[in-house]
Chain A
Amino acid sequence: MPAFVFYILTLVVFFFVYTILTWGLNLQFGETGILNFAYIAFVAAGAYITGVLSMGAPKPGTGESYILGAHVPFPLNLIAGGVAASLLGLVVSLIAFRRLRSDYLAIVMISLATVCYDVVNNFTPLFDGADGLNGVPQPFVAAFHLNANTFLYVFPFFALVVAAVLWWFMARLTSSPLGRTLRSIRDDPDVARSLGKNVFGFQLLATVVGSFYAGIGGGLLIELSAAFNTSAWTTPETFIIFAALIIGGLANNVGAILGALLVPVLFVQLPKFLPAVPGHPALVPEIANMIIGVLLLVVLWFRPEGVVPERKRTFASILVEPTLPSEGLVGVFGRSAS
């Protein structure tokens, strides 16, 4: 396989993965207004669980140690990763959402991400510490006799199928009355509460479903690269997904796709394929990260609604517009007479 094709196919998978991740965060922050600064920890939970459930028990003599080693057949390990991330989301929200205002919640979340990182990094029995999981069996490889290269011809299609299913579900969810309730909580939780909505329950739901998306995305990541360790999920990674979401457009699933293409794919993954500056191996990604930060500030200042703004959801599309009887009345409604 030419190196160029290899890069392109890898980027295609990254694109689908980050689209899924951005949809999950969009449900939490864009639709419901939950400032989840620990999002990447949920991605990591999905990745680790998918990984250990494909690797089987730790092989003696390799020095590796991890929990839950098993050979779960392919799509099930991915779903298990998503469920694991959801469970983490459930536990966190049960503790954090009941009483906290949004900035306290953000503090707890960013602290949670650091502490999760610390524990996984230091406590090797969990997921082999800083070395992380290596040699994770990739799907289809054994069944179709693929190798590391030909695997990349198959995997983008599978990632596409997963993304399509998740798109369908997210589109249904956000356009349903439930989506409307979530947005009302985002705009004013007190008003939503006064209309009899169980704000806590809906926040819980948005976190759990959003975390499922995070977990699935994480699972796809570990299957793509066959390895995962703590360096892949530091807090700046959460910021990358926030930047994708805000630049693409909050509360808009199409905007999330665009944001995922712009930020994580073009600015994070693509520069990794650029040649390094001699003597400064990390300079290219460092500059790319700074550009992402600046880009986010510029978008927030000049176009806070993002590239693809939230669709105005009005009843006009449902109701037939009444014909107005006289020009005078038209004037009252502030429309031109012509």
Chain B
Amino acid sequence: MAVGFGLVTASIIAIASVGLTLQFGVTNYVNFAYGDFMALGAYFAWQVNTAFHWSIWVAMVVGGLGMGVVAVALNRFVLGPFARKFSGSLIYVLIVTFGLSLIIVNLVEAVWGPTYKLYSVPLENPYHLGPLLLTKDEIIIFFLGVVLMAAVHLLLTRTKLGKAMRAMSDDASLAAVTGIDTRRVTAITWFLSGLLAGVAGTVLGVNITSITPSSGETYLFVIFAAVILGGIGRPYGAMIGALVIGLATELSAVAIPAYKLDVAFGILVVVLLVRPQGIFATAGKA
């Protein structure tokens, strides 16, 4: 049973953590507003889901695209300029993202209210898949994660854009010297990061059945745990990290339901003590 939930949770964490780690790889600073990106995307989806009665999956795409556009705008007008201004001391950009987090969470609260919202999702009987008992929504979330991970893999290995992203992740100035339009690649990366955040925020809401302005923020450290486990800036590491964290939190939910997410923090601390560069990271960056 718990394994089934674990795989679904792992899917959600994987979508979110790949979005976070892609952006870190290219820009080289951590986005502490990422949890609020997830919440904002989830609220966009809620808006079209309830106002226009669109299916939650269509709404999810709208939420993801909307968040992607917001992320591009934030990079263009706020984060990009700050990252160039403080390129020698990116620690200030972390504070800028922290500040953005405060702004977004209060904006969401002011627009949609502080209480929780429910997606309009039809109730369904769960299916038996071998030993697992899962609802249709959970099965869709799981396969959505698999498909998105495959898409990210193809993007990174088969396209020129993916190659440019990997090059920037290895060495941004070297990539610029070889003629890569780093600003354009950065903008597209922010779009992808926002898109994945919006999708992850929505499926998180579908999975735990409600969304609140701070639901992304409270989940953020679980995503950090998966990202660091795999080595920050490394998309494949984040996928494996998500699988480990997803299974670990849901399996521990059997014994300590109230603290299942805190297990992720325990794993995070142990990983950082034993192998600060991440379990799956190679030497070099981060």
Contacts and interface: CB of A to CB of B under 8 A. Distances in A.
A242 B228 contact: no
A96 B90 CA distance: 20
Interface stretch (B132-140, B180-188, B260-268): B260-268
B54 interface: no
Nearest to A288: B106
Interface string B256-279: 001101100100110011001000
A220 to B, nearest CB: 24
Which of A37, A106, A107 neighbours the largest number of chain B CB atoms within 10 Å of its CB? A107
B43 interface: no
Contacts of A239: 98-99, 101-102
Given A122-B258, A239-B101, A290 B106 contact: yes
Which of B95, B218, B259, B262 neighbours the largest number of chain A CB atoms within 10 Å of its CB? B95
Nearest to B102: A293
The interface residues of chain A, by DSSP majority, are classed as helix
Contact of B220 (A112, A114, A296): A114
A110 B102 contact: no
B30 A111 contact: no
A282 B82 contact: no
B123 interface: no
A286 interface: yes
B23 to A, nearest CB: 13
Contacts of A100: 272, 276
Interface string A64-97: 0000000000000000000000000000000110
Contacts of A297: 78, 82, 96, 99-100
A8 interface: no
B217 interface: yes
Contacts of B109: 282, 286
A108 interface: yes
B261 A118 contact: yes
Given A296-B99, A301-B82, A106 B30 contact: yes
A106 B103 contact: no
Interface residues of A, number: 45
A50 B240 CA distance: 44
B95 A107 contact: no
B221 A242 contact: no
Given A107-B30, A115-B262, A119-B262, A242 B269 contact: no
A35 B261 CA distance: 24
A53 to B, nearest CB: 26
A5 interface: no
Contacts of B99: 239, 243, 293, 296-297
B126 interface: no
Nearest to A108: B272
Interface size class of B (residues with CB under 8 A): 35 or more
B121 interface: no
Contact of B265 (A115, A236, A242): A115
B102 A236 contact: yes
Interface string B100-122: 11110111011000100000000
Nearest to B256: A122
A289 B92 contact: no
Given A108-B269, A301-B85, A287 B102 contact: no
B92 A304 contact: yes
A300 B272 contact: no
A122 B218 CA distance: 14
A122 B106 contact: no
A236 B100 CA distance: 11
B205 to A, nearest CB: 19
A115 B221 contact: yes
Interface string B60-103: 00000000000000000010011001100011101110111111
A111 B265 contact: yes
B225 A242 contact: no
A104 interface: yes
Contact of A289 (B106, B214, B273): B106
6 contacts: A104-B228, A107-B30, A107-B228, A118-B262, A239-B101, A296-B99
4 residue pairs, one from A and one from B, having the closest CB atoms: A111-B221, A293-B103, A289-B106, A122-B258
Interface of A: 33, 35, 37, 95-96, 99-104, 106-108, 110-112, 114-115, 118-119, 122-123, 234-236, 239, 242-243, 246, 280, 282-283, 286-287, 289-290, 292-294, 296-297, 300-301, 304
Given A95-B269, A115-B262, 20 more contacts: A99-B276, A101-B276, A106-B30, A107-B30, A107-B221, A108-B272, A111-B225, A111-B268, A118-B261, A119-B259, A123-B258, A235-B217, A246-B95, A282-B109, A282-B114, A289-B103, A290-B110, A293-B102, A301-B81, A301-B82
